[in-house]
Amino acid sequence: MPALPHHRLTRRGALSRLLASGAAVTVGAGPLRAMAAEPPLVEAADSVLTIAFDSGMASRLTRAGTVLTGFDAADALWLGGGEIIDRFLLLDHDRAPLPSGPHGPGTRHTLRGVANDRIEKTVTIAFHDRYPGVALIDIRFRNIGKQPLTVAGWRAAAHDLLAHPAGAWSYAGASYPDRRDWVQPVAPGFDQRNFMGMNGSDYGGGTPVAAVWRPDAGLAVGHVETAPKLIALPVSHQPGGTRIGMEGDTAALLGPGETLELPRLFLMAHRGDHFAPLDAYRRIMAERGIAAPPIPDSSYAPIWCGWGYGHDFTVDQIIGTLPKAKALGLDWVVLDDGWQTSEGDWKVDRTKFPRDGADMKAFADRVKAAGMRPRLWFAPLTVDPGTDLMRDHPEMLLLDRSGAAQNVTWWDGFTLCPAHPPVVAYFQEHIRRIIGDWGFEGIKFDGQHLNGVAPCYNPAHHHARPEESVEKLQDFWKALYDTAMAINPQAVIELCPCGDAFAFYNIPAMNHTPASDPESSWQVRLKGKSLKALIGPSAPFAGDHVELSDGHADFASSYGVGAVPSTKFTWPKDSASPSDNPPLGGYVLTPQKEAVWRQWIALYRQTMPARGIYRGELYDIGFDKPEGHAIATADGTMHYAFFAKAWDGPVRLRGLGPGRYRLTDPLSGRALGTATAAENSLQASFTHALIVAATPMDTGAA
């Protein structure tokens, strides 16, 4: 294919257009300015997304002909002293075919501009045919002056999604100690920085993507580097819309001729909520080498966890509950926190297991003899004060710039450095003991500190850069995962970063994830939707203990997003010191609760929605009322779930194929009528949840 034309703009002509707009050439008046209107000078586009540039390299985004933003000073360099360089005289534009690579063929645009003969900006935009609406963008700033430049930070792809009468919603992949919702409406005053580093001593990391959307269109911004970067993806409400973009504030000295290269950007214009951009992001990152591993069948099996008995459980309590858990249709038995003497040493508590490892193996064998699978709770990378490990190997600690340790608040411990090889080897040895010696078939890695760590300044580690700890956390998890798989290729490795927004880079090192201490049923559903996009539409996501949901028994929220059911009931009575804050009546499985548990677990085992294809593109979790979810299973059935405090009106069964479908409430078996793709409205009246199964009646046309 021949090269496409190169467009060189005369400096005088471009400068005259820039000055005619009435805008300053280099120094911005604020964090993001909408430029004076002028005709686009250059357009870079695919079939969906158009990025138009004016003579000052301000850009405007359009989706399928709908203008989404004004001409915004999307990219800027922040210099020492507060100067903002955000206007660059556009000099030239190249457009050329992009040969097939990991993301397939497409078109590449390269634009170059200068600011006051001090800084040259080069923007390279790649559109790939298989990802319509997605631009992968490289931005470089080069010092073309004769004096060094002190760089205080930068921004890129910053735009205001224009306001819509219905408002806007947002998704943010950042982690916060208050365990806030990942999906939120953008109300006046909303301002969230979404820093991808630590936002607390033990809360950090996440997925480097943010998305904002209106009922008709949205924008998503992130980066596609293969290791975490300490950037921010701020989202804020503005008078004219919703602002989104990417920022970095790491200081640098840029000598003459030197270049600052930003992380490769992901920019997408989309329809619907955050599912489509996260799904596209997952596929792009898989092509770059970051992808979920194969999923064992047992990862979809229902779970009973002993955490209902709390830290002070007895072995007799756990063993005594196995027959009831098995009778309910539960397969996994999780031995939770309390089997060990401390976090860090990970010695067996001899008051519960007098024969040490022999009793741990006997416990795992007892679970298997009951026809179930044993999984063990474990919290790597934390060490308690006063432990042998802390005394003998203080050099394993992750230290900040001042030499202080990083706190792990839940256990009053400290974080170990995942980039220090002896730390990796230490925990690999524990994995060999748990999976190999004791015979557990799965591990539950638990703790908010697992999701991200701070830069490490411990001189004993000889890091090339402090950020190695941040970037190599994914390698730590992969080392533990590979160690387990080498012993038992069918082992289930669960990663539960309590309350964090899941760190995308850890996905290759796990084959099961829960809702991770949800604080509401809404969080169960939004986390399910998000993780089905980030891991895959058939991801083995668990709703976490159903006792954490609204009403402490909301199986519908788990079932509706295709989640594996999980529970921590006690039986035949509660513990004297149960976990967390038990609900009124405790965790004990009463006859009334047992009937509910049996019904939902049996329905899950019959239909296995977790193995189905979650159709997250069919419903907008922010704007659709009632809230809707859909799953397609291999037998051709579409499974729908709708949620509202109270609803009386029509619901739309989107995604039906050809032919007529029989509609039923699968929980009660009640007939609800029939539907086709063209006649997909169902009149419904419900409180909280409505579950609908649409089963093909024939294969003919409707």
Does 234 map to a domain? yes
Statement to judge: residues 573 and 670 lie in one domain: no
Query: At 352, which CATH number?
Result: 3.20.20.70
Is 507 in the same domain as 595? yes
Question: CATH number for the domain including 674?
Answer: 2.60.40.1180
Q: How many domains does the chain have?
A: 3
Residue at 144: amino acid letter: I
Cβ atoms within 10 Å, residue 175 = 30
Closest-CA residue to 65 (of 54, 52, 49, 46): 49
Q: Assess if residue 411 is contained within a domain.
A: no
The verdict on 347 and 488 lying in the same domain is yes
Same domain, 124 and 25: yes
Contact 26, 85 (CB under 8 A): yes
Q: List the beta bridge partners of residue 640.
A: 630, 692
**In this structure, are 444 and 373 located in the same domain?**
yes
In a domain, 389, yes or no: no
pLDDT value at 356 more than 90: yes
Q: Per-residue pLDDT averaged across 33-45, rounded?
A: 74
| 532 & 642 share domain | no
Q: Verify that 46 and 114 share a domain, yes or no.
A: yes
Tell me the chain's radius of gyration from C-alpha atoms. Answer: 27
Residue 498: half-sphere exposure toward Cβ, Cα within 13 Å: 18
Mean pLDDT of 81-110: 96
- Residue range 305-312: mean pLDDT, rounded: 96
Instruction: Say yes or no to pLDDT of 286 above 70.
Output: yes
**Between the CA of residue 29 and those of 85, 117, 214, what are the distances in Å?**
10, 20, 28
pLDDT digits (tens, 9 = 90+) for 241-265: 999 999 999 999 999 999 999 999 9
> Distance between CA atoms of 670 and 666, rounded to whole angstroms?
7
Structure tokens at 470: 């941040």
Residue 410 resides in a domain = no
Report yes or no on 642 lying in a domain: yes
pLDDT in tens, 114-170: 999 999 999 999 999 999 999 999 999 999 999 999 999 999 999 999 999 999 999
Residue 121 forms beta bridges with which residues?
113, 141
Last residue of a domain, one of 226, 256, 287: 287
Q: 401 in a domain, yes or no?
A: no
Q: pLDDT per residue over 326-345, tens digit each?
A: 999 999 999 999 999 999 99
Same-domain pairing of 528 and 632: no
**Which two structure tokens, joined as six digits, stand for 494?**
């669960």
Answer whether 302's CB lies under 8 Å from 608's CB.
no
Q: 488 and 346, same structural domain?
A: yes
Q: Is the pLDDT of residue 18 over 70?
A: no
User: Confidence class of residue 578 from pLDDT cuts 50, 70 and 90?
Assistant: confident
pLDDT at 699: 55
- Percent of the chain residues topping a pLDDT of 70: 94
Looking at 364-368, 580-584, 671-675, which range is the least confident one?
Answer: 580-584
pLDDT in tens, 502-516: 999 999 999 999 999
Residues 642 and 526 in one domain: no
- In this model, does residue 25 exceed pLDDT 60? no
Average pLDDT over residues 384-392: 97
Mean pLDDT of the chain: 94
Range of 222's domain? 6-287
Q: What CATH number is associated with residue 183?
A: 2.70.98
Q: Report if residue 191 sits inside a domain.
A: yes
Q: What is the pTM of this model?
A: 0.95
Q: Are residues 143 and 210 in the same domain?
A: yes
Mean pLDDT of 194-222: 98
The angle, 0 to 180 degrees and rounded to 10, between the axes of the packed helices 473-487 and 421-431 is 30
188: in domain: yes
| Domain end call among 287, 317, 335 | 287
Q: Do 597 and 631 fall into the same domain? A: no
pLDDT in tens, 632-668: 999 999 999 999 999 999 999 999 999 999 999 999 9
| Cβ proximity of 136 and 128 under 8 Å | yes
What is the reported pLDDT for 572? 96
Amino acid at 542: A
Q: Is the pLDDT of residue 225 over 80?
A: yes
576, 607, 638 — which closes off a domain? Answer: 607
